[in-house]
Structure 1
Amino acid sequence: MKALLPLMVFVLAACDQMREDPAKRTYDTSSFFDDGKVARNPPAGTLTRDSTDELTSRDAAGQLLSTLPMPIDRALLDRGHERYQIFCAVCHGDDGYGDGIVPQRGFPSPPSFHTDRLRGAPVGYFHEVITQGYGVMFSYASRVPSRDRWAIAAYIRALQLSQHTPLSSLDEETRNALPDG
């Protein structure tokens, strides 16, 4: 019993300390942070639940956009590739054929981006599907900012072109640089 006495004193002291240190409220002050505030600013790039889409998938007449609402450059395609690898490749696969790791584990396969139907779809279609979801794919509107969804749509177009560009549309130097086969 005498051995338990120090443990009981420690436990009772801890309970008293918790009683004296109540949870902080949002606008309380704190000596812990340099700015003296309890509330923290959200990290850069954080989306709120109520974020609005400044770039929509449709024009004023309600038609899906056939062109991107921003210029296409290397930075946009690099961003689209990065975001695609994070959010899309697990299902759609690295090259867009719908053979990512998730369908390999028995889940339904998404459609290949290289079908005639999706090659002919307006680019706004991809932004809208990412925004709203489709079939078993859930909406990414709260997870991916609109500009990044457009970057992914641009990258999907680049994937499609990489697999379906007719050789006749390439200049002779580019055709000669291609491997035979």
Structure 2
Amino acid sequence: MRPVHLLAFALMLAAAGCKQDMADMPRYDPLAKSDQFANGASARQPVAGTVARDDDLSPVPDKMPYPVTMKLLKRGQERFNIFCSPCHGRTGDGDGTVVQRGFPAPPTYHQDALRKASDRHFYDVITNGYGAMYSYAARVPPADRWAIVAYIRTLQYSRYAPVAALPEELRAKLDGEAMQ
């Protein structure tokens, strides 16, 4: 066969595969009624126990799984300032810019109940949301969630550090200010 004939034959084969009915396939909107299935739905429900392919199935520890280092705290501060401070404020008081514009205030991190809450509580709230707060699972990876938890603990500790844990010179300075 000549090259011209081969080209013409290839074009005829390609044209035969192009049918418009393939492009005009019937489709259904989500949750639309249909005769496709016995229950009248246009789609099947997922099988019980189905897991999304991007679900994190690793067990979540109850306490901070990483050593708390300056690098972790800086990462936590950065992520906190991006994702949390619009509502919780930079100091964790629940007075962020969104709240100042009328959104309901979240609780302060400095209340007794949240100071006593487990690390896992904060991790779970970041992951699943709570009240008016939506889930950040798709926005904040697990390692960054733990970094945020470490930073929240730092904010809490900054207000409620035990005086006995301070160096001697700072305790003396506090004692001197208390006498004035």
Q: TM-score band (shorter)?
A: 0.5 to 0.7
Work out whether residues 97 and 113 of structure 1, in 8 Å CA contact, stay in contact via their aligned partners in 2.
yes
Work out whether residues 133 and 139 of structure 1, in 8 Å CA contact, stay in contact via their aligned partners in 2.
yes
Tell me the equivalent position of 2:54: 51
The yes-or-no answer on 1:172 pairing with 2:168 is: yes
The yes-or-no answer on 1:83 pairing with 2:79 is: yes
Mapped partners of 1:97, 1:55: distance in 2 = 32
Mapped partners of 1:96, 1:111: distance in 2 = 9
Structure 1 residues 180 and 50: alpha-carbon distance in aligned structure 2, compared to 1, 3 A threshold: farther
**Identity between Structure 1 and Structure 2 (%):** 51
Structure with bigger RCO (C-alpha 8 Å, 6+ apart)? 1
Mapped partners of 2:156, 2:54: distance in 1 = 30
- Unmatched tracts of structure 1, length 5 or more: 1-48, 59-64
Deviation at 1:168, TM superposition (A): 2.8
Task: Give the total of aligned pairs.
Answer: 126
Tell me the equivalent position of 2:11: none
The yes-or-no answer on 1:135 pairing with 2:131 is: yes
Work out whether residues 55 and 147 of structure 1, in 8 Å CA contact, stay in contact via their aligned partners in 2.
no
1:78-120 deviation line (CA, Å, top 9, x unaligned): 0000000000001000000100011111110000000000000
Secondary structure at the counterpart of residue 155 of structure 2? helix
1:47-81 deviation line (CA, Å, top 9, x unaligned): xx8433366544xxxxxx1x201111111000000
CA RMSD of superposed structures (Å):
2.1
Higher CA-based Rg: 2
Structure 1 residues 56 and 140: alpha-carbon distance in aligned structure 2, compared to 1, 3 A threshold: farther
